[in-house]
Amino acid sequence: MPALTRNKKKGAKSQTPPLIKRTKSNPTPPPKKAMKSHKPPLKKQRKGVSDEKREVYNDEEEEEEEEVSEESDEGDELGSDLFSDGDEEEEDGDEEDDIEPSDDDFLGGSDEEKGTLVSDSDSDSDESDIEKESKAIDEERERQEQDAKDELQMNIKEQPDEFRLPTKKELEEEASGPPDLPALQTRIKEIVRVLSNFKDLRPEGVKRKEFVEQLKADLGSYYGYNEFLIGTLVEMFPPVELMELIQAFEKQRPTSIRTNTLKVNLTRRRDLADVLLNRGVNLDPLSKWSKVGLVVYDSQVPIGATPEYLAGFYMLQSASSFLPVMALAPRENERVVDMAAAPGGKTTYVASLMKNTGIIYANEMKVPRLKSLTANLHRMGVTNTIVCNYDGRELPKVFGPNSVDRVLLDAPCSGTGVISKDESVKTSKSANDIRKFADLQKQLILAAIDLVDAESKTGGYIVYSTCSIMIPENEAVIDYALKKRDVKLVPCGLDFGQAGFTRFREHRFHPTLEKTRRFYPHVHNMDGFFVAKLKKMSNETKASEGDEPVETKEQAQLSSDEDDDDESIKELKKPSGANVVKNKQRIPISKANNKGKKNKNFKTENANAEGPRKQKKKRSQWKAEIAQAREDKRKVMREKNTKEPGRR
């Protein structure tokens, strides 16, 4: 029986040889169709067959144990070894079967399994593409950040931590080529930064003066200022404020208009604004300090050609021009003089405050500007104004001294406060121009003070204003007036504005100049302006020692006339040599009379002289004396003719 069982096991093994041996014998894989035709049994079926075989083997083993009960240990050991070998071979075959079908299924599976595999591979490829793109984006971002860091480090290495001024060689190289505006701007910012905190940021061995001089040169090159003007501004303002002022000069100030209260009541100003808004004008109230002002941001129609403008409902006027009239504060039924009235913005404002009562003398020296002045007065409905054309320095002679209640003097000036309107001021004004304007302004303010009556019950005020920010045209002029006339400074009545200078360079002004007001474009968003208000205390004049008197136009003409009289006198005192003896013989009486008259006149003149300079006779007096001498000569000749009747 044991031999039979062995033969059966061998037959079973020969019927189902393991697949591993076949794969080894056929190393090249068969095509897909052949693999499908010779499809191996499924794993579950193979497992069922192996279980049945194991049950048959167990039954046979039980029968053999019953028949052969007495078997040697060697046979048992041999049988057990055989069974164990067979089992191991079956187990090995089962493991090989378990492995091989997975390969066959992978190589030749069903269509559904193939579809799932393709979809999985596509999804895997998509995911791999997304990952690649994200990695590429991350790498690009990291590269850009690294480049930025490298560039920053390069700039840091190129630019030292401490700012240094350019050398002479570098400045010569810059001057030889076109200006490098970005480099200039960067250097200006660095110089301003160092000067704003020079104590801490000061480089070793460099003086502040060197930084200031370089700042002047750079500002002049970058913004187009001449050396004089930029030098004066640097001395007047700190570096940071100076930059704000210069940058404000580069921008236009907003347009403003003034409502005419002679035609539009304050309660109807809103109606005027609504009408202009409907016409496409974008506007707002000017500020809290003005009840009649409107600021215009933009307009779809010309703001100076609307029907409301032509009807006189408003006046185009800069915001800074409101300030002198507000400081003057005229009252009804007063006599007011506007010494420089054209084009009429301030004059019409004064008339509206006076409600067309009293008298306003609108003076303008330049004839071509009288046309615009007169047109604006008619358009705005002003009826209490007289237009005149005189030199402002002659007005005290025209109207009489101490004859008006208030005077408004918007003096002609250099225009350094309105650079945004006229950029030619940057290069056209010099120290000599400022000096000439200052001399003219001093003469005008003395004439304005002489016009005002100190004993006026409601007035006695003078307002002086300029559109300049130069100290010689503003504080120096007011200080001169305080020394020459009995006046004092009073508050302007304006709640805003910066106080005037009381010292500048080597000059020291009166302490009350703090009551004057300065307005700047970078602070108040209006043109640069200066306003001062004076109160006349008495009608007397005073002259302080050490001040040089300013020669007026009339004094210059008088001195020239006196020089002409002196020359005529010398000519009259030089008679010809042939007539000297005849004159002594023929008219001794007349000569004695004339000599007595001369002595008498000289005595009276010396007695009435008030100054150190002697007043001399005018040409008309000498002509009268000569005519008298001729008449005396004729009388003598007539007497001789009457005494000798027979001579004919």
Residue 637 CA, distance from chain mean position: 90
- CA distances (Å), origin 48, targets 293, 323, 340, 526: 109, 116, 127, 107
Helix (H) or strand (E) holding 230: helix 227-236
| Angle between helices 73-107 and 2-15 in degrees, nearest 10 | 10
**What DSSP assignment string belongs to 442-469?**
HHHHHHHHHHB-TT-SS--EEEEEES--
Two tokens, residue 84: 């164990």
Q: Is 118 helix (H, G, I), strand (E, B) or coil?
A: helix
388, 413, 467, 492: the active-site residue: 467
d(CA 35, CA 485): 129
| 304 labelled binding-site residue | no
| Angle between helices 181-196 and 239-249 in degrees, nearest 10 | 140
| 391 labelled binding-site residue | yes
Could you tell me which residues come within 8 angstroms of residue 288 by beta carbon, excluding any fewer than 6 positions away? none
| 133 labelled binding-site residue | no
| 506 labelled binding-site residue | no
Q: Is 125 helix (H, G, I), strand (E, B) or coil?
A: helix
Two tokens, residue 69: 């009960």
Two tokens, residue 367: 């004839």
| DSSP letter (8 states) at residue 615 | P
| 343 labelled binding-site residue | yes
Give the residue carrying structure tokens 């409502």: 259
Q: Are 57 and 13 in contact (CB under 8 A)?
A: no
Q: Strand 529-541 relative to strand 507-508: parallel, antiparallel, unpaired?
A: unpaired
Q: Strand 335-338 relative to strand 406-410: parallel, antiparallel, unpaired?
A: parallel
Q: Are 399 and 392 in contact (CB under 8 A)?
A: no
Q: Is 362 helix (H, G, I), strand (E, B) or coil?
A: strand
Amino acid identity, position 522 = H
d(CA 297, CA 526): 14
Two tokens, residue 110: 């069903």
| 340 labelled binding-site residue | yes
Upper half-sphere CA count for residue 44 (Cβ side, 13 Å): 0
413 part of the active site: no
| 345 labelled binding-site residue | yes
| 12 labelled binding-site residue | no
| 342 labelled binding-site residue | yes
Q: Binding site: what residues are annotated? A: 340-346, 364, 391, 410
Give the residue numbers annotated as catalytic, written as ranges.
467
Q: Binding site for S-adenosyl-L-methionine: what residues are annotated? A: 340-346, 364, 391, 410
